[in-house]
Amino acid sequence: MITKPLYIFNGLLDSGKTSVIKETLLDPGFTVDERTLIIAFEEGDEEYDEAFLADTNSFVIYLDKLQDLTIEKMRDLERTYTYDRIIMECNGLQNEAEYLKNYGLINNWEIAQILTVVDASSFRMQLINLKQFIYDHIKISEVAIFNRFSNDEDYLFIRNNLKAINPKVELIFEDIDHNIVEFEGDDIFDLSKDPIVINDNDYGLWYMDAANAPEKYENKHLVINVKLIEDLKEYDKACIMGRRAMVCCSEDIADIGITVVGIDKTKIQKDTYYKLDGIIHLVDAEDGYKTCLLYVNDVSKGETPKEELVTFN
């Protein structure tokens, strides 16, 4: 049986999913001569009109909820229609993408990519009021598309909060005219300083910046205030030190830390903060990316931050 790719577009109502899907299907590099089945679980202001469907060799069916997409329904679609791939426009409040990812191979449909579409102009408010939904969407997505982005939006705020949820998610920003927005010179810290001193309030910003672009910190002299997270017992002088962060809500507290090398672990006490002074070097991580290691030159007693839970603002 030939496997057909399934592309899942997740996101809250009015985030612009239909517009992004239409852009995708109008891209000659994506469409070629393939026929696309669109399954939509909601109808927004934007529609798939007959002219668009004809131009893109597509057709659409509307369902109320994921439970309507039974195995029998999928097999009926296979018998009734001829198509090469499936695009699914999800209802962001039902979190179909999580269900489908756990479901694995669906009939002869195989998940090719999960994307989340976000309205950049309302992201900050959504992060306050609908944070669990944002978290659920981003944690399983390969790509997050922020449309309606303007200079009024805080790019670093968006980037840091999403990378805290899913460090590997690719972020794409589009303006109101659907043009790609590029960012340059978004350094949060003055990298010319020696040392670069990371204040307690800036630890989350630094951590996400180093995770997103570790090459910037190669050979940089760094001073940070952290505590023991994990004792790497297989190494005599290495451990993970960092802080705790509230990634989504009170139930989603995560440790975010950096591996430190050259430290006398016999002098490190749990739940005590230490000021580390050292040099950053990059090493290959298991996932193929680069990651920062801090080679410590000096350790001294630090102070407990006024706010121990890290934020990414």
Q: What is the 3-state secondary structure (H, E, C) of 120-173?
A: HHHHHHHHHHCHHHHHHHHCCCCEEEEECCCCCCCHHHHHHHHHHHCCCCEEEE
Any domain includes 183: no
Split into its structural domains, the chain has a count of 2
Q: Of 140, 173, 206, at which residue does a domain stop?
A: 173
Any domain includes 47: yes
pLDDT tens by residue, the chain, 313 residues: 578 899 999 888 788 899 999 999 988 877 667 899 999 987 766 789 999 999 999 999 998 887 787 778 888 888 888 899 999 998 877 666 566 665 555 567 888 899 999 988 888 888 888 888 888 888 888 999 998 888 777 787 888 788 778 877 888 999 888 888 877 655 667 888 999 999 898 898 888 888 888 999 999 999 999 999 999 999 989 999 999 987 665 556 788 899 999 999 999 999 999 999 999 999 987 767 889 999 999 999 999 998 888 876 5
Q: 306 lies in which domain range?
A: 196-310
- What pLDDT shows up at residue 100? 64
Task: Report whether 142 contacts 113 (CB < 8 A).
Answer: yes
10 Å Cβ neighbour count for 102? 8
Any domain includes 283: yes
10 Å Cβ neighbour count for 2? 5
Any domain includes 222: yes
The domain that holds 18 is classified in CATH as 3.40.50.300
- What pLDDT shows up at residue 225? 97
Same domain, 167 and 22: yes
The domain that holds 282 is classified in CATH as 2.40.50.200
Task: Report whether 112 contacts 144 (CB < 8 A).
Answer: no
- What pLDDT shows up at residue 66? 77
Any domain includes 56: yes
Any domain includes 45: yes
Same domain, 24 and 157: yes
Same domain, 58 and 117: yes
DSSP for the chain reads ---EEEEEEE--TTSSHHHHHHHHHH-HHHHTT--EEEEES---SS---HHHHHHTTEEEEE-SSGGGS-HHHHHHHHHH---SEEEEE--TTTTHHHHHHHH-SBTTEEEEEEEEEEEGGGHHHHHHHSHHHHHHHHTT-SEEEEES--TTS-HHHHHHHHHHH-TT-EEEEB-TTSPBPP-----SS-TTSSSEE--GGGHHHHHHHHHH-GGGGTT-EEEEEEEEEEE-TTSTTEEEEEEEEESSSTT-EEEEEEEEES--GGGPPTT-EEEEEEEEEEEE-TTSSEEEEEEEEEEEE----SS-EE---
Q: Of 123, 139, 173, at which residue does a domain stop?
A: 173
Same domain, 130 and 273: no
Same domain, 256 and 223: yes
Same domain, 152 and 232: no
Any domain includes 64: yes
Same domain, 42 and 124: yes
Any domain includes 178: no
Same domain, 143 and 205: no
Same domain, 121 and 208: no
Q: Of 112, 140, 173, at which residue does a domain stop?
A: 173
Same domain, 168 and 275: no
Same domain, 8 and 142: yes
- What pLDDT shows up at residue 275? 97
- What pLDDT shows up at residue 7? 92
Same domain, 41 and 135: yes
